[in-house]
């Protein structure tokens, strides 16, 4: 990606210097898989407090966290990507009469931190909390993406941030609240299907952002899209399940298959058109 001269967002809450010692941090992608399993047990609901219990972390000893140069660069990068999502979505909301775009906050932390949805920890991977309209990222996730699933490249990292911002857009548009309500009143299988629709739409929104960011700032370089598609494919439920347990249980999918994730991301990048991304209008088997 080309980001020279791009502004940084003022909506970053940097909590990295205060890190919790003795937490379950560092589980990386393996932790994300654990998260899926817990979602399975808990019936698809996102219950962070339960996750925290299972992982047995939550130590309160705080230590001073030393920030490396690489982490500092990733923090600046994340702030620039967030600023790009602010510019793109603000213009898009206004041009399409979607109301005012109120940007989310980006919380950078190390190890674990409090969120409006319970205690968040690095092992969960990046997440969006609708209660406090914030995206939470432990930047070590980006190095685990590289070392554990072989997905790297700045645009792959940008996709991860833009996906979480996509959940915020769903929240502003009322899609997230409605979906969570539905998920609470149906069985586990149906709830997981709703979750897949939400996740694929967030992938589409990430693509939509990239389309417009590139139009405004000429940010994409050769090979960028391939890197993000590779990343989307590697965080598909089927890929992660196969990797962690050797087989695939499709009813337990909460994020969609590798092919689905790459397809919806690509569709967003190609069309840049919100009306093309209604994953709730499709038959589940056609997603
Ligand atoms: Zn998501």
Helix axes 188-217, 154-172, angle to 10 degrees: 120
How far away, in angstroms, is 11 Cα from ligand 1 center? 20
Domain ranges for the chain, please list them: 12-286
pLDDT value for 233 = 81
- For residue range 228-250, what is the model confidence (pLDDT) as tens digits? 888 888 777 776 666 666 666 66
How far away, in angstroms, is 258 Cα from ligand 1 center? 14
Helix axes 175-183, 188-217, angle to 10 degrees: 160
How far away, in angstroms, is 36 Cα from ligand 1 center? 12
How far away, in angstroms, is 64 Cα from ligand 1 center? 30
Rounded Cα distance, 152 and 234, in Å: 11
More confident residue, 10 or 33: 10
- For residue range 194-220, what is the model confidence (pLDDT) as tens digits? 999 999 999 999 999 999 999 999 999
More confident residue, 210 or 151: 210
pTM: 0.82
How far away, in angstroms, is 127 Cα from ligand 1 center? 7
How far away, in angstroms, is 167 Cα from ligand 1 center? 7
Instruction: Pick the closest to residue 214 from 97, 87, 106, 126 (CA basis).
Output: 87
Rounded Cα distance, 65 and 21, in Å: 9
Assess whether pLDDT exceeds 60 at residue 75: yes
């Amino acid at each position: 990606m080309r980001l020279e001269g791009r502004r940084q967002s003022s909506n970053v809450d940097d909590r990295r210097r205060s890190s919790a010692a003795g937490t379950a941090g560092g589980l990386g992608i393996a932790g994300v898989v654990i998260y899926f399993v817990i979602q399975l047990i808990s019936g698809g609901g996102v219950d962070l407090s339960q996750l925290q219990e299972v992982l047995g972390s939550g130590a309160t000893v705080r230590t001073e966290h030393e920030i490396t140069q690489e982490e500092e660069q990733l923090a600046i990068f994340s702030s620039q990507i967030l600023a790009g999502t602010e510019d793109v979505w603000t213009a898009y909301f206004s041009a399409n009469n979607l109301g005012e775009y109120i940007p989310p906050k980006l919380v950078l932390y190390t190890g674990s931190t409090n969120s409006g949805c319970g205690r968040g920890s690095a092992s969960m991977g990046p997440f969006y909390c609708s209660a406090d309209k914030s995206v939470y990222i432990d930047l070590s996730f980006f190095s685990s993406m590289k070392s554990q699933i072989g997905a790297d490249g700045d645009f792959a990292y940008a996709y991860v941030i833009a996906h979480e911002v996509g959940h915020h857009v769903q929240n502003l548009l009322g899609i997230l609240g409605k979906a969570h309500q539905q998920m609470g009143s149906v069985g586990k299988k149906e709830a997981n299907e709703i979750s897949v629709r939400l996740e694929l739409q967030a992938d589409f929104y990430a693509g939509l952002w990239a389309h417009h960011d590139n139009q405004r700032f000429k940010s994409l370089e050769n090979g960028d899209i391939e890197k993000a598609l590779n990343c989307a494919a590697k965080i598909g439920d089927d890929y992660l399940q196969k990797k962690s347990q050797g087989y695939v249980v499709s009813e337990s999918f909460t994020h969609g298959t590798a092919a689905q994730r790459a397809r919806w991301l690509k569709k967003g990048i190609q069309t840049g058109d919100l009306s093309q991304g209604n994953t709730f209008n499709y038959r589940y088997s056609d997603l």
